[in-house]
Structure 1
């Protein structure tokens, strides 16, 4: 048995010691072994529309400046003056060619070079003029910018492994490139950061925690459409081959709950006939570019977690980018953005925003429910002497785990365990992906008919 995890394949049973949610020593190891070494999300390139645009962020516990320099190059700088450490950029966003420290007046270009300092002659002609510090590596994939503080970390594309396919499924939904809309949803929770990671691709809680939302969604639809909403939320179909959602291991701790085409676009308020017609027209165009097999997957839904703390959810007519920042063992800060296709019509865009805000917004029917649930969990961990473990066993006995099972969470926890404790637990064996789950992307340069999907 692992120090923190019970992974019993014979029972089967998977449990996580609740000490990992409260122990300061565990939190310190996470900071050193996970957040100092893994690739971490910084922001999306479209947030920096013009040269000299910047955003200030926290990445891996460090303050950083997310910059597009004067030549248009994306940069990430540590937001600390190399002179005495003061915060260099104190605004959340803006446009600037230079950054001047308010403490002693040292000034830096947005390319990171020290360009002036008061009383320069007092430092002598041979003074080594320090530039801004930066993460060891910065790279991007399809507009998503990541950084790692580990110079020995593998390249980003290798790190993303199978998660790259799911970012492609999101990004291919626009011919002009998906863009982050203006505004950031910032909130906090008095709970351990790993609880929100679990929650972000936990389909099991949907109907019970978000009962009000599903009552609204079902009432807005009739007959088979209402049944489809109910089935997607509860994982109906898990006992036969018509599984409507799957939990999928993407490698390196990344995982996803992916919904089939049957489930895509069924949540929230129904689209108007004009909105639905435009949506279908867009999908037909994507099929001509990428092939029917790929677009069948695109029509579905996906709750993607990129280890350790990035969440991308394509659901309810909108794509959420969620960054989870641990602050202490029992407190996290969360930043979320809305990613959308800029080339859709104004009416479809209006309906997208309406559905998005109804579910994901600050006053929506999802996020406040989730925060309340996680905070009650954290408070109950005071009783860990009597209730030592949390159970994450659902679906271990299934040939094909669904999105309402917990296979994807166990995948994440096994990666956490090998990094934090050094003990590697064997992966679960389930039926290989086939049908819609294995549909591949055709190269847009290839005009031939796409081949049928094969088993993954």
Structure 2
């Protein structure tokens, strides 16, 4: 048994030592070995609609500028003036041809070039004018932009492994390309970041933690058959620590508030056109639900009338900051968009019907970890004895933890073995289109 993971295949039992949620030394190892060495999500290309649009983000503990230059190319810069280090851009977002440091007035274009500095004659004719710094690599897949600070890392498509197929599923919901809607959720949680990773694709907690939401659903539409939906579901290892839980076609309707007849008709008409383009099997999968974690801290949730992108930023062993956006088909009509935005606010929002419940549970767990000397291990064994891992099992979490353990400790734990997925869960996309052009700084 390793220091942090107890992976007992004979019992079977899988446990995680709670010190990984509290120990500053573990947190330092995570920063060094995970957040300095993996691909990390930055943003979606559609957030930058016009030349010279920019957003400021924190990724892997670094302040970054996510921008589209005057030629329309996506660029990513470290948000620090190369003169004396002050933060160059102090706005969350905007549109500007130049970014000027408030400290000494050095000014840079969105292409990263130094365009002016007060009293530049004082530097002499041969002074080498510095440019903005960039992460080691920047790349994108289907509009999702990632950065890494490791120049030796594998390319993004290789890193995504099986998660790329699920980004395809989400992206194919639109006939013209999905876009991130205006409006962002920002909130913080006084708990370890890995607790929200677990929670984000944990189907076991739904009925107990979100009881008030399900009471509302039952009142709105009558009894729901959640048991059948869970049986018709899977947890899938996507490689490289990524994992997803998926539900069958139409399962999202079971757990969501009823759509209007107008919204149903519009959605079905679009799905019919997508079937003609990509095939029945692909669109049946597309019409299901999915909660995916792309290791280490990106969550894509396609559930309850909406696609949520969630970025989890660790700040300390017991504190994280969370940012979330809504991804939607831009061609969607007014009624579907209204219901989608309402759901993004009232279900997924920091004051909604789901997120506050989750935050309360995670903070409760973190507080209880003060007793780690008396109760050292958390159990994540659910479903280890089963022949098929379903949404309410914990296989997806064990997938994350085995990769986490491999990176942090160097110990490789063998994967769990399950039969190959049935055809329904692997139906291919019949028309393969070229991936979106990679962006690079």
Q: What is the TM-score when the length of structure 2 is the normalising length?
A: 0.96
Contact map agreement 2:224 2:254 (CA 8 A) in 1: no
TM-superposed CA distance for 1:148, in Å, is 0.2
Quick one: distance in 1 between partners of 2:121 and 2:188?
Answer: 47
Give runs of aligned pairs for residues 210-225 of structure 1, distance below 5 A.
210-222=210-222
Kept after mapping to 2: 8 A contact 1:181/1:339: yes
d(CA) in 1 for partners of 2:128, 2:260: 64
Alignment-derived partner of residue 364 in structure 2: 376
Q: Which residue of 2 aligns with 1:147?
A: 147
8 Å CA contact 1:218–1:229 kept in 2: the answer is no
Q: CA deviation at 1:47?
A: 0.5
Aligned ranges 1:70-219 → 2 under 5 Å: 70-219=70-219
Residues 60 and 325, structure 1, Cα contact 8 Å, conserved in 2: yes
Q: Pick from 385, 391, 412 the counterpart of residue 397 of structure 1.
A: 385
Q: Choose from 336, 351, 363 the match for 2:324.
A: 336
Of structures 1 and 2, the one scoring higher in RCO (CA 8 A, sep 6+) is 2
Task: Name the count of aligned residue pairs.
Answer: 433
- State which of 213, 223, 228 in structure 1 corresponds to 2:225: 228
How far has the Cα of 1:347 moved from its partner?
1.3
Shift of 1:262: 4.2
1:291 aligns with: 279
How far is 1:435 from its partner? 2.9
Q: 1:444, CA displacement in angstroms? A: 5.8
The within-5 A match list for 1:261-280 is 261-280=249-268
Query: Which residue of structure 2 lines up, in the alignment, with residue 62 of structure 1?
Result: 62
Q: How far does residue 357 in structure 1 lie from its aligned partner after superposition? A: 2.4
Given that 1:228 and 1:262 are in contact with CA atoms closer than 8 Å, whether structure 2 keeps it comes out as no
Alignment of 1:443-454 (within 5 A): 443=431
318-327 vs 340-349, which deviates more?
Answer: 340-349
- The answer for unaligned runs of 5 or more in structure 1 is 238-243, 446-456
The CA deviation string for residues 349-389 of structure 1, in whole angstroms up to 9 with x for no partner, is: 21222233221123211000000000000000000001000
1:365 lines up with 2:356 in the alignment? no
Gaps (5+ residues) in structure 2?
434-441
The superposition leaves residues 13-53 of structure 1 with CA deviations (integer Å, 9 ceiling, x where unpaired) of 00000000011111001001100110000000111000000
Contact 1:217–1:267 (CA<8 Å) still a contact in 2? yes
Task: Provide the C-alpha distance between the structure 2 equivalents of 1:265 and 1:59, rounded to a whole number of angstroms.
Answer: 34
* Cα shift at 1:392: 0.3
Query: Is the alpha carbon distance of 1:116 and 1:198 closer, same or farther for their aligned partners in structure 2, counting shifts above 3 Å?
Result: same
Contact 1:316 1:356 in 2 (8 A): no
Provide the rounded CA distance (Å) in 1 between the counterparts of 2:358 and 2:72: 39
- Cα RMSD (Å): 1.1
Deviation of 1:285 (Å): 1.0
How far off is 1:441 after superposition? 0.7
**Aligned position for 2:399:** 411
Is the partner of 1:424 in helix, strand or coil?
A: coil
SS in 2 for 1:266: helix
CA distance in 1, matches of 2:339, 2:220: 14
In structure 2, distance between residues paired with 1:134 and 1:444: 32
Q: What is the TM-score with the length of structure 1 in the denominator?
A: 0.93
Which shifted more, 111-120 or 132-141? 111-120
- Deviation at residue 162 of structure 1 after TM alignment: 0.3
In 2, Cα distance between equivalents of 1:274 and 1:113: 51
| SS, match of residue 122 in structure 2 | helix
- Report the CA distance shift for 1:441/1:366 in structure 2 as closer, same or farther (over 3 A): same
* Pairwise CA distance, 1:264: 2.9
